[in-house]
Amino acid sequence: MRRTPILFLAAAPVAGLLVACGDPKVTYVHVPAPTAQQSTHLRGRVIDAISGEGLVGARVTTNGVSTTSGSNGNYVLGGLGVGATELVTSRVGYDTLRAQIPLPGGDYEFTARLKQSATP
């Protein structure tokens, strides 16, 4: 009698496997359940490069997501994914800052230091 190997796939470890027909060869492959895509929670401050004071009302944008800095120049952007990206920070009276930053997953902090514009 020819015996055919059985291939059994599971999304979690199996406590046991009962095979009713003789002694077939069994191959067990563990396939982990899919996980949610990792994301990065970006937070930080927008400050004046000379004085170090927080800048209220600065626009912070990356990956099509943006926010405006609040009191003390604080900002938060969540659910950004992972990988290197460009963060663009701008405010009236200041030069726009373009910075390449990593988005490693989890929490990441970045302080944007803006220089006052030479032209009014």
On whether residue 18 sits in a domain, the answer given is no
Tokens of 59: 């626009």
pLDDT in tens, 84-111: 999 999 999 999 999 999 999 999 999 9
On whether residue 55 sits in a domain, the answer given is yes
On whether residue 68 sits in a domain, the answer given is yes
Instruction: Identify the burial level of 77 via C-beta atoms within 10 angstroms of its C-beta, where 0-12 means exposed, 13-18 middle and 19 or more buried.
Output: buried
Q: Domain of 68?
A: 39-114
Residue 66 amino acid letter: S
pLDDT higher at 119 or 110 = 110
How many domains does one find in the chain? Answer: 1
Return the CATH number at 60. 2.60.40.1120
Tokens of 87: 């963060």
On whether residue 28 sits in a domain, the answer given is no
How confident is the model at residue 104, as a pLDDT? 92
On whether residue 22 sits in a domain, the answer given is no
pLDDT in tens, 28-69: 443 343 345 589 999 999 999 999 999 999 999 999 999 999
